Structure 1
């Protein structure tokens, strides 16, 4: 199993009042239902006020790296990426479980 975790940080001038952010959040919430390779899907806003904290997280569980590759190119996931690219930068990790 592969745990796929992505942490998003808003670009300067972007915050939760931006309609693009709210749309990206709604899209992220639907990824788990739209991409069949995902066994689990979590998402959420950061609640920490620490300066090193990111703004948003997505966390998925997939069978293997082949499933990760299919997830990455899935059209719904690609739409989500396009939305988040406009408003944020991110880091990610894929970890074997």
Structure 2
């Protein structure tokens, strides 16, 4: 199993009041139901106000690296990426469980 972890940090001038952030969140919530490779999908806003904190997290679980590769190119996932790319930078980790 592969645990896919993504942390998003808004670019300067972006906040949750921005309609683009709200749309990116709305689509991110739907990824779990749209991408068949995902066995689990959890997303949410970070509640921490510490300077090192990121703004949003997405955590998915897939069977293996092949499933991860299919997820990465999935059309719905790519739609979500386009929205997040406009408003944030992110870091990822893919962890074998």
TM range (shorter): over 0.9
In 2, Cα distance between equivalents of 1:23 and 1:48: 21
What are structure 1's unaligned runs of at least 5 residues?
Answer: none
- Count of residues in correspondence between the two structures: 97
- Normalising by structure 2, we get a TM-score of 1.00
In 2, Cα distance between equivalents of 1:65 and 1:88: 26
- Normalising by structure 1, we get a TM-score of 1.00
Provide, for residues 35-85 of structure 1, a one-character-per-residue CA deviation record: whole Å limited to 9, x for no partner: 000000000000001110000000000000100000000000000000000
What are structure 2's unaligned runs of at least 5 residues?
Answer: none
2:17 is the counterpart of 1:17: yes
In 2, Cα distance between equivalents of 1:65 and 1:90: 20
- Residue 31 of structure 1, CA deviation: 0.1
In 1, Cα distance between equivalents of 2:35 and 2:49: 32
